[in-house]
Amino acid sequence: YFSLSLLQIMDVDEKNQVLTTNIWLQMSWTDHYLQWNVSEYPGVKTVRFPDGQIWKPDILLYNSADERFDATFHTNVLVNSSGHCQYLPPGIFKSSCYIDVRWFPFDVQHCKLKFGSWSYGGWSLDLQMQEADISGYIPNGEWDLVGIPGKRSEKFYECCKEPYPDVTFTVTMRRRTLYYGLNLLIPCVLISALALLVFLLPADSGEKISLGITVLLSLTVFMLLVAEIMPATSDSVPLIAQYFASTMIIVGLSVVVTVIVLQYHHHDPEGGKMPKWGTLKNSFAKWSHHHKRCGNLMLEA
């Protein structure tokens, strides 16, 4: 039998898409070669063997993202008189997990932990699953644990007729939004609302363009914060990043419109001094019109 005890969700690395957990594995099997008669050995109920001296199943995490691949601490194997063996290795497991950040920071993530034997097939090692234990779980400040359901499945390969069983536990967790709401969402909404004040400021104040550019720079800073947290992928773009981009476009257009409004507001109704290129253009137009008129009169004559 195989199961696990989840103690803590240590880290969820959205950028590298790696889940780090503190887990105790639970493996139990029966070895008839390790049985003994209690009457012949009175007082000996349990014997502890180093894991390298007796046989034990080579259960590994298939989707491991750790450099060592096997991240467990090798402990002793407990054996009783009936040959029942129990192996409880603890470890810090790093597993690859696809992080869907579309609904950030209101997202729910499903990370799978797939365990199985590395060299034994289903005919040699019948891997059976037991429900995961979360009684000793330590709460995480950023994530709420929703559940950790397990599923046993079998896979067949072209090389062999025997099945290869594996056990997959899905760690389902929901992100806590209080931190991101206070430090990201509320400031962003307030800054976006300030963009409306650009059109309420009097034109003579001289701060219409300054306010628009300040709002634009503030939104850029918040967008950089989101980009620093999120993975560099184009599979799913967070809705909050789309909101930032749309707001930046609107604020940018409002700055352009403000410039046009100020241009018309400060325009001299009596006309100002014409630039040199304008004078030359008018002179050329008058000369061309006069030359064309003289030509027409000569043709009529």
Using alpha carbons, list the distances in angstroms from residue 233 to 14, 104, 239, 296. 11, 14, 14, 71
CA distance linking residue 51 with residue 68, whole number of Å: 18
- pLDDT, position 222: 82
Q: Do residues 143 and 209 both lie within one domain?
A: no
Largest CA distance in the chain: 145
Q: Do residues 171 and 212 both lie within one domain?
A: no
Q: Do residues 102 and 210 both lie within one domain?
A: no
| pLDDT value at 280 more than 60 | no
Examine residue 64 and state whether it is found in any structural domain, yes or no: yes
> Tens of pLDDT along 6-42?
999 999 988 889 999 999 999 999 988 888 888 888 8
- pLDDT, position 282: 58
CA distance linking residue 296 with residue 301, whole number of Å: 9
Examine residue 283 and state whether it is found in any structural domain, yes or no: no
- pLDDT, position 285: 61
Q: Do residues 135 and 197 both lie within one domain?
A: no
- Shortest CA distance to 129 belongs to which of 171, 172, 165, 79? 165
Examine residue 293 and state whether it is found in any structural domain, yes or no: no
> Tens of pLDDT along 239-272?
888 888 888 888 888 888 877 877 776 665 555 5
- pLDDT, position 276: 53
> Tens of pLDDT along 111-125?
999 999 988 888 888
- pLDDT, position 298: 55
Amino acid symbol at 218: S
Q: Do residues 6 and 143 both lie within one domain?
A: yes
- Other beta carbons within 10 angstroms of residue 7's beta carbon come to 17
CATH of the domain at 235: 1.20.58.390
Percentage of the chain exceeding pLDDT 90: 28
Q: Name the residue range of residue 48's domain.
A: 2-175
Give the dihedral of Cα atoms 157, 161, 167, 172; nearest 10 deg. 40
| pLDDT value at 104 more than 60 | yes
The highest-confidence range among 129-143, 149-163, 194-208, by mean pLDDT, is 129-143
Using alpha carbons, list the distances in angstroms from residue 164 to 56, 98, 112. 17, 24, 18
Among the three residues 154, 175, 196, which one is the final residue of a domain in this structure?
A: 175
Q: Do residues 196 and 65 both lie within one domain?
A: no
Examine residue 40 and state whether it is found in any structural domain, yes or no: yes
Amino acid symbol at 238: P
CA distance linking residue 3 with residue 7, whole number of Å: 13
